[in-house]
Amino acid sequence: MIYKILIRAVIKSWKLWMAVPIVAVGLVIFLTRDLEKRYITNARIYVNLQTDGSTSVSGASVKQFEIGIYFDNMIELLKSRNSIEKVRLRILKEALEGKHDFIDFEGYENLKDNDSINHRIEELSVKDQQLDLRNNIDNQIHNLLEDNRCSFEELTENLKVSKIGKSNFLTLTIESENPYKCVYLLELYIDTLINQNKTLGRERISNNRRMIERLLNDSKAKLDEKIKNLESFKIENNIINLGEHTKAIVTQIVNMEVKLVHLKESQAANNEALTHILETLQKDNPGPLEFSNNLRVLSLKDSLVALNADLVINEFTDKEAELKNKKIMILKDRLQTEVVGMLGNTPYDPSTIRQELVNKYITHQIQLEIEKETVPIVEREMQNLVDYAATFAPLESQVSTFDREILIAQEGYLMLLNKFNLAKSIEESTGENEIRLIDSPLLPIKPESTKRAFMVIGAGMGCFVLTITFVILFTLFKMNKDLIVTLFKDEAEATENAEEEGEVENENITGEGDSSSDSSET
């Protein structure tokens, strides 16, 4: 029964549910008569993630569970206010340079030929800052960009970034009212993303690089200080080349020891030879020989001893040593000549053997005297060298300490230098070839199909459904209202009937009481 009532009410109000959708459709058509055309273009980029540490400069790699976070960070980086602000400033900068005409300077003619705008844009770009609306120039730049549909909200809304499945590809989509502006903005976004990714990656390494550089400078200063201390110590103690100097002294001491041993061996041999010659001469009962009578022989012997001592004590060059040796040979020849002449003046006539024995005796005696004089000189000179070398011990110890400290400082400096060069190489290579453009944005030829038809159909259908619903609800409300009134009326009638029945019963009871009283009286 109620369905028939609702259907009858809907049919009865057909003018209403026909007029309302028609009005709504007409209103939508009128409001969307100048709907703006929108152009869409997209680009595809490849993100080269370093998943193999062996091919990385730093040895680091991206784990599988970090890939999703990496892409989310990259998307948020592109949509950040800092990145959008860089895009906005670059749009204005290139508009001032005449690279495009997407900015209309109508009403802002004072900004177009103002060098302070270029300086301010350059300053913000270098310092990586955003527009400060408290600044008059920044406020004018902001208003100019807002009036030319380059606001932060609109640029963010028109940009769509999404990851393609489980791949390493990102799709960037941009929407704009101008097809050329559409391509231009997308190229700016891609360039900004690459630069921002490089900047953030290098900033992570720059902190470590600056710390290592500070430590490297401190290590270099300490190393230079230790080297300077060593140089000052050598200058104060007149040290030219302590190692070579010590080596030369040790070599000279060894040579002296060898010479001393040879002298003592030769001295013992000469003593034994003299003893043997004397015994031989005494057996043959030779005549008395007075060797002290010839003063020239003794003078030549002393000269020969002095030359040998001078040759041993002093260090001569090869040429000077050769001259000394020649003088010694000349003295020996003269001494030999004197001995031979002295033999001719002897009171006896020795035979050839005795003459040779006397000759040998004199030679051994001369050599023995030379050795007796030379041994103390060599021992004294060797002791002087040992004492002189002993003075080098503390100097050499101090120099060795300096050298050891310098070596330790050098090792630390070289280690830090290696780390610094590695950090610098990593910093320079961070972000390089990490993002590669695969599909460049193409110029959209046709605008995207508008939603006008769907809006018209949706408005008509929606209004039709709403109107029918309203009619049904209104009918139900009216039916419920009539039903409530009827119920209230029935309840009131029932109440009146109940009251009337109660009055009748009371009258009946009263009548019965009166009749009983009358009968009793009777």
User: Any idea how long the chain is?
Assistant: 522
Sequence-separated (6 or more) residues with CB below 8 Å from residue 286: 348, 350, 354
- pLDDT (tens digit, 9 = 90+) per residue, 350-363? 455 566 667 777 77
Residue-wise DSSP of 409-455: HHHHHHHHHHHHHHHHHHHHHTTTTSEEEEEPPPPP-SPPPPSHHHH
Return mean pLDDT, the chain: 75
Question: Cα separations (Å) of 329 from 21, 180, 270, 307, 342?
Answer: 145, 110, 20, 11, 20
Q: How much is the pTM? A: 0.52
**33 has a pLDDT exceeding 50:** yes
3-state secondary structure of 314: coil
**235 has a pLDDT exceeding 60:** yes
189: pLDDT confidence band, cut at 50, 70 and 90? very high
Residue 495 has what pLDDT? 64
Sequence-separated (6 or more) residues with CB below 8 Å from residue 251: none
DSSP for residue 177: S
Closest CA to 192 of 83, 64, 305: 83
The 435-439 sheet, strands edge to edge: 159-163, 169-176, 39-47, 435-439
3-state secondary structure of 403: helix
Residue-wise DSSP of 102-163: -S--TT-HHHHT-HHHHHHHHHHHHHT----TTSHHHHHHHHHHHHTT--HHHHHHHEEEEE
DSSP for residue 284: T
| CB distance 209 to 99 below 8 Å | no
Closest CA to 48 of 197, 205, 204, 200: 197
Closest CA to 89 of 35, 131, 43, 58: 131
Sequence-separated (6 or more) residues with CB below 8 Å from residue 264: 375
Structural tokens at position 447: 């605008």
Please name the amino acid found at residue 57.
V
Residue owning tokens 């159909």: 457
3-state secondary structure of 511: helix
Residue 171 has what pLDDT? 92
Average pLDDT over residues 106-115: 77
Residue owning tokens 């109940």: 498
Question: Cα separations (Å) of 468 from 14, 19, 232, 471?
Answer: 9, 12, 107, 5
Sorted by where each begins, the domain ranges of the chain are: 12-35+454-465, 39-213+431-439, 242-420
Closest CA to 163 of 67, 51, 83: 67
C-alpha 118/C-alpha 139 separation (Å) is 14
- pLDDT (tens digit, 9 = 90+) per residue, 471-517? 777 777 776 655 555 544 555 566 666 656 655 555 555 544 444 44
Structural tokens at position 388: 């002189």
Closest CA to 287 of 194, 351, 204, 369: 351
| CB distance 436 to 48 below 8 Å | yes
**111 has a pLDDT exceeding 60:** yes
- pLDDT (tens digit, 9 = 90+) per residue, 45-81? 988 776 554 445 444 555 555 677 878 888 888 888 9
**168 has a pLDDT exceeding 70:** yes
Structural tokens at position 243: 């190692």
